[in-house]
Structure 1
Amino acid sequence: MRLFLTASCLALSLAAAPVFAQNSAPQPQPIVDIVPAARDIAFPGVMTLEVDATDIDRAIFSMKQTIPVPPEARTAGRFTLLYPQWLPGNHAPRGEIEKLVGLKFSANGKPLAWQRDSLDVNAFHITVPSGAREVVANFQFVSPTAANQGRVVVAPKMMNLRWNNVSLYPAGYFARNIPVDAIVTWPTGWQAGSAMRAKRSSNSSGGAKIAYERVDFDTLVDSPMFAGAHFKSWPLSDKVTLNVVADAPEFLAATPDQIEAHKRLVTEAEHLFGVRHYDRYDFLLSLSDEMSGIGIEHHRSSENGVGTGYFTDWAKGPGSRNLLPHEMTHSWNGKHRRPQGIWSPDFRQPSRDDLLWVYEGQTQFWGYVLGARSGLFSYQETLDAFANIAAGLDRRTGREWRPLVDTAHDPIIAARRPKGWASWQRSEDYYNEGMLVWLEADQIIRRESGNTRSLQDFARSFFGGREGDWGVVTYELPDVVGALNAVQPYDWQAFLQSRVYQVTTEAPKQGLVLGGYELVYVAEPSAYIRSGEAASGASDLSHSIGLVVEKDGKIAQVIWGSSAFDAGMTVGDQITGVGGRDYSAEMLKAAVASTSQGGKVELLVKRGKRYRETTLSYTGGLRYPALRKTGQGETGLDRLLAPQTR
């Protein structure tokens, strides 16, 4: 009987098994890219791009673009135009192709049909009629009117015109070889700042039409514009200008001391690198609570968007004052010297971001150093920032499984969206952890050379070159290692391998130690932390119970492995009560502080429509990071942050 049942089961099993040979089974077809590859040859003609930027109420840009048809396209009968997608400084495909609307092409006054490429949705194929010498494109860019649509670039009194949003370019050519004449009609009375310069202007009832100097398409995309009704410029040197646009004129009230600090920034930066990779440089700075913020580098300018209090709230803390030093440093690191995998002949080739820990990490390092040397950050504010950064990176438990180099792919992987478990997932740590790696490298060079050399010698040799050269020189990892060894012989390959390419158990804090300081935790937050909490409205308790809590009690972050994590708390939960009373930040901090004397953190937590009582298993009291000096006299970190030009 047992044998019969076994055989029966086997028969049923065989009968139920799928017979794959009876299913239809397609085979893949080769994927053929029909978009012409970029070639390093001259484009035969000059594009003209006219932008109407006067529709500020609806935040719509309207364009007319005239594009010469190359001889080979006339012969083939097909012309391909591209919309910029892989944008420098974004480290990911950030082109907003979905906002390009109303696209129509014509030649000799007659409409032309177009077809979007099925493989590359940023490519448009046009059938060119015989005898056509140019194609005219008419289209609009419907910029976001709310933050949930993307970055808001038009506000009632200002705008950020980014050429990659409002232009097409011909496939088959390096972007640097395509000449462009750009013309913009601005709202009446508005002024604009850019690395580009006007060559003629005219006024009409519709606004002010400005024709700009001819540039290549690569330079055009690298030369965004800030314009507005409330605009002011300050010369910072013979070649550098600070252009500021604000929601209202009172926010432009910079003091002489504040402008002097920005002048010192330029002086210190140019002294650091030894040469200037620009014929002129324009800081573009928006002070707005209506237009979205930004921080993007360009070779001869930078886009910087912060809140309205940049000048007027100066005394409340450094706020965003490390932004301009960071972005200016990119003129040397990231724009002139650029990883080979990040440089591209056009805006279609994907970026390979493995060396962002150099591109962004060392820029972050010099940004903080220049902030301190110029006085945009005080010495103590810089130390407090370093402490906060190092301690925060120590909470990145994800380093146990994910090496620093892998975070360089985050702009593509995560598209800079918020992360629920950032401490375990890790984020774009190549910025701040990269900074700590370069801080350690600086202190090693100082130690090994007997304080005769530093990372500044590397900066001058590696990012230097010819005065005024705003071309691009690429590099790979061996070039970085070789340049370090030329400054100071050391096993830099092994150093970088361990810090960047391997998993670790803690943040690389040895640079602080070599610099004469150590990371400690104290019960009172520094002025730097207090100013940050005041600006954000959040309470950072990540170093104690493992929470960052917003003003209304909503949890913004839970540190993986912390007491809050062990209690089952997660992002999106809301603390509604502390110790049997209504939630407030003060009540929560008092409860955490009491744990050092045997108290408890008892919380009422809401998730959706449900409430639960939670007691955190924690006994350490309030903990905030700080740096304590261990060295005697002037230490390596002291020397690094000291002004070099006064």
Structure 2
Amino acid sequence: MLMPRYRLITLAVATALSMSASFIASAADLPAPVDQPYAGTLTVAVDLTDAPKKIFRVNETIPVTPGPLTLYYPKWIPGEHAPSGPIQNVAGVVIKANGKQLAWRRDLREMYALNVQVPDGVSQIELSFQFLSPGDGGEFGASASSTPNLVDIEFNQTAFYPAGHFTRQINIQPSVTLPAGWKFGTAMEIASQSGNTTQFKPLHFNNLVDSPLIAGKYFNRVDLDPGAKVPVHLNVVGDEADDVKISDKQLAGQRAVVQQTARLFGAHHYDHYDFLLTLSDHTGHFGLEHHQSSDDRLPANFFTDDTMHMLAASLMPHEYVHSWNGKYRRPADLWTPTFMEPMQDDLLWVYEGLTDYWCGVLTARSGLWTPAQYRDSMASIAAQMSYRTGRSWRSLQDTADAAPLTYFGGGGWGNWRRGTDFYPEGQLLWLDVDTQIRELSGGKRSLDDFARAFYGIENGSYVTKTYTFDDIVGTLNQVQKYDWAKFLRDRLDYTGDTLPEHGIENGGWQLVYTDKPNDTDKAADKIRHGANLAYSLGMSVSAKGEVRDVQWGGPAFNAGLVPDLTIVAVNGKDFSPDGLKDAVTAAKTGNASIELLVKNVDVYSTVKLDYHGGLKYPHLVRAKGKDVIGEITTARK
């Protein structure tokens, strides 16, 4: 019996929808990963010849079997502490099998998953797309990563992987094609080269994501540990030839970082290590750790301006320490079998806070900072954290727990919101631990002993070893018996109006405020082109009078100032940072208020600040007892 034509059309549409739906799994149905090898080796070819146009062209081959297939784009990137995989910059996705284009559909509840039906007789699919690099600043995946003369590539940006397997069980062979004449640096090992294309040796997908590459027209590579069996190199790209040159003094400082770090931990956990340093004013500025390398991005004048070099000197030591703390030893809640499972950040006060503590110490021990510059840094951190009014409602622990919310959160009200305070207050926390160990042991032991006991094991091992809070406490007790669980929890869970850490005082120093900025803060204001008056007026402003932040409950707040207003005039004269500071100084000896003309969008108003305390800037001065901080920052032999 023949069906009416409309029934045939309806049936055809229904059948097509049914077939389509058959490979559209819900997020709850996505394959669970198993710890078994994936059959075959993936390949990914990244063509960067259009990198100056901010276009990365990707061609990937994936061995498959017929049936439903889910492809993942990496979502949770180690070190970024948030679901930050930049899938929004992926475009032009085409999947083919035996030359025919296949339909695919994004999972409706997991935006990082693409579902496709692999036809019978197909053993491999070809996936092509473009990664459109962002065009401005930012950090991590939201950061500009190419200019006409250089490119930075994190391979999580340029590869999908099949669901259902631990990513350490998926092998992939990458290759990169660069603009003519460009040189590159990476921790990956070269298999072959032909023209402008380099093919690298196969590696696990985990290691691909963990192995960024920098390349550029202007490139410099120096050996940071000459003669060592386990080599360490510094690779530099920049927008100008002069930017990538390193002086003998600067090179000596970077080499000392490697030497002092080795003496701190007593072991290494890499086959070789490559610092990948990008110097440009047209990319984002940040660092991202990897096991055998680090992606470090700084302003173009890092090597050519002494002030910038001093201010940014601790970035590379920070990322280098992460090879031990974060890569080799990693919080158990931050280890996941693939890049899709949520990472839990409750131990970031160890992962980042302890790393930040040691990076400052190593920057001083290596001579990149003087002891006075280290103390200036700690004075600024202690003042900033002492004025954290948000501590009244939010603990240090919560800043770690909520890191996925705050890493990419909005600006303004920083002291009331609290952001990634596990970095700066983490330094104070671990200085507190270090000085406590030294006091309890009569100077016989220190946090250096913890470093060797916790990280200096299994020399040469590249296998991640996870840890918990109890492991931290247990190792501290091996170094020095004490109720470390209570010590840490009292500080991590504290809410109130005082700073709970006392390492500066225990280290023989005291935080004070004077009307003159310390040298480090003075340099920072010069670079940032503004004025930080957080400890006097309770606000910071840009050179153009834009209010960057306001201290909750401070004089500026009480007068009605909020972030994003613009100060147009001070006491009837055009705004300037120096003019504002002069007004604060003058008000100290008089009764008149400081009068500001401010602009809120297009509305002008006059604000009066009844403040007479003068300028206040943080410093450390010697107090009673031994100079323990001096001992901590002394180079190890």
Please tell me the TM-score bracket, short chain as reference.
Answer: over 0.9
Residue 225 (structure 1) aligned to one of 197, 213, 219: 213
Whichever residue aligns with residue 36 of structure 1, its letter is P
Q: Deviations over 1:310-369 (max 9, x none)?
A: 111025661211100100000000111111111111100001000000000000000000
Aligned twin of 1:54: 49
Report the Cα distance in structure 1 between the residues aligned to 2:269 and 2:435, rounded to whole angstroms.
Answer: 27
1:210 paired with 2:205, answer no
Q: Deviations over 1:196-237 (max 9, x none)?
A: 12121111xxxx000011110000000001110000011001
Q: CA deviation at 1:165?
A: 0.5
Q: CA deviation at 1:449?
A: 0.3
TM-score normalised per structure 1: 0.92
Residue 87 (structure 1) aligned to one of 56, 64, 77: 77
Secondary structure (helix, strand or coil) at the match of 1:597 reads: coil
Report the Cα distance in structure 2 between the residues aligned to 1:161 and 1:437, rounded to whole angstroms.
Answer: 35
Report the Cα distance in structure 2 between the residues aligned to 1:116 and 1:415, rounded to whole angstroms.
Answer: 26
Aligned twin of 1:42: 37
Residue 176 (structure 1) aligned to one of 162, 168, 172: 168
1:137 paired with 2:130, answer no
Q: CA deviation at 1:293?
A: 1.7
Aligned twin of 1:124: 114
Residue pair 2:52, 2:150 contacting (<8 A) in 1 also = no
Structure 1 gap ranges (5+): 1-29
Q: CA deviation at 1:408?
A: 1.0
Secondary structure (helix, strand or coil) at the match of 2:481 reads: coil
Whichever residue aligns with residue 365 of structure 1, its letter is Y
Report the Cα distance in structure 1 between the residues aligned to 2:237 and 2:586, rounded to whole angstroms.
Answer: 47
Q: Deviations over 1:396-444 (max 9, x none)?
A: 1010111101001343113423322111111110111111010000000
Structure 2 gap ranges (5+): 1-24
1:624 paired with 2:617, answer yes
Report the Cα distance in structure 2 between the residues aligned to 1:253 and 1:99, rounded to whole angstroms.
Answer: 33
Secondary structure (helix, strand or coil) at the match of 1:366 reads: helix
Q: CA deviation at 1:597?
A: 1.2
Q: CA deviation at 1:561?
A: 0.7
1:445 paired with 2:440, answer no
Whichever residue aligns with residue 146 of structure 1, its letter is D
Report the Cα distance in structure 2 between the residues aligned to 1:354 and 1:399, rounded to whole angstroms.
Answer: 17
Aligned twin of 1:332: 324
Residue 491 (structure 1) aligned to one of 475, 483, 487: 483
Q: CA deviation at 1:110?
A: 1.9
Report the Cα distance in structure 2 between the residues aligned to 1:535 and 1:160, rounded to whole angstroms.
Answer: 25
Residue 63 (structure 2) aligned to one of 68, 80, 88: 68
Report the Cα distance in structure 2 between the residues aligned to 1:100 and 1:64, rounded to whole angstroms.
Answer: 13
Residue 513 (structure 2) aligned to one of 503, 508, 521: 521
Q: Deviations over 1:163-218 (max 9, x none)?
A: 00010011111111111110110110001111112121111xxxx00001111000
Whichever residue aligns with residue 502 of structure 2, its letter is Q
Whichever residue aligns with residue 221 of structure 2, its letter is S
Residue pair 1:90, 1:411 contacting (<8 A) in 2 also = no
Whichever residue aligns with residue 109 of structure 1, its letter is G
Report the Cα distance in structure 1 between the residues aligned to 2:402 and 2:543, rounded to whole angstroms.
Answer: 28
The 5 A counterparts of 1:567-586 are 567-586=559-578
Aligned twin of 2:295: 303
Residue 104 (structure 1) aligned to one of 52, 74, 94: 94
Report the Cα distance in structure 2 between the residues aligned to 1:562 and 1:169, rounded to whole angstroms.
Answer: 51
Whichever residue aligns with residue 120 of structure 1, its letter is E
Report the Cα distance in structure 2 between the residues aligned to 1:156 and 1:408, rounded to whole angstroms.
Answer: 38
Whichever residue aligns with residue 211 of structure 1, its letter is Q
Aligned twin of 2:286: 294
Per mean C-alpha deviation after superposition, the further-off stretch among 263-272 and 408-417 is 408-417
How many residue pairs align between the two structures?
606
Secondary structure (helix, strand or coil) at the match of 2:119 reads: coil
The 5 A counterparts of 1:343-422 are 343-422=335-414
Report the Cα distance in structure 1 between the residues aligned to 2:180 and 2:285, rounded to whole angstroms.
Answer: 24
Whichever residue aligns with residue 167 of structure 2, its letter is A
Q: CA deviation at 1:58?
A: 2.3
Secondary structure (helix, strand or coil) at the match of 1:295 reads: strand
Q: CA deviation at 1:582?
A: 1.1
Residue 33 (structure 1) aligned to one of 22, 28, 31: 28
Report the Cα distance in structure 1 between the residues aligned to 2:470 and 2:307, rounded to whole angstroms.
Answer: 45
Whichever residue aligns with residue 372 of structure 1, its letter is A
Aligned twin of 1:530: 522
Report the Cα distance in structure 2 between the residues aligned to 1:362 and 1:289, rounded to whole angstroms.
Answer: 29
Report the Cα distance in structure 2 between the residues aligned to 1:118 and 1:549, rounded to whole angstroms.
Answer: 44
Q: CA deviation at 1:505?
A: 2.0
Relative distance call for 1:619 and 1:490 in structure 2 (3 A) is same
Per mean C-alpha deviation after superposition, the further-off stretch among 634-643 and 266-275 is 634-643
Secondary structure (helix, strand or coil) at the match of 1:443 reads: helix
Q: Percent identity?
A: 40
Q: Deviations over 1:4-37 (max 9, x none)?
A: xxxxxxxxxxxxxxxxxxxxxxxxxx97612111
Report the Cα distance in structure 1 between the residues aligned to 2:94 and 2:353, rounded to whole angstroms.
Answer: 43
Q: Deviations over 1:601-645 (max 9, x none)?
A: 22111112222222112111000000011135x521111000003
Report the Cα distance in structure 2 between the residues aligned to 1:348 and 1:623, rounded to whole angstroms.
Answer: 47
Whichever residue aligns with residue 280 of structure 2, its letter is S
Aligned twin of 1:9: none
1:606 paired with 2:606, answer no
Superposition CA RMSD, Å: 1.5
Q: CA deviation at 1:509?
A: 4.0
Report the Cα distance in structure 2 between the residues aligned to 1:122 and 1:388, rounded to whole angstroms.
Answer: 41
Report the Cα distance in structure 1 between the residues aligned to 2:322 and 2:308, rounded to whole angstroms.
Answer: 27
Q: Deviations over 1:129-174 (max 9, x none)?
A: 1121111111111111234893101111001111000100111111
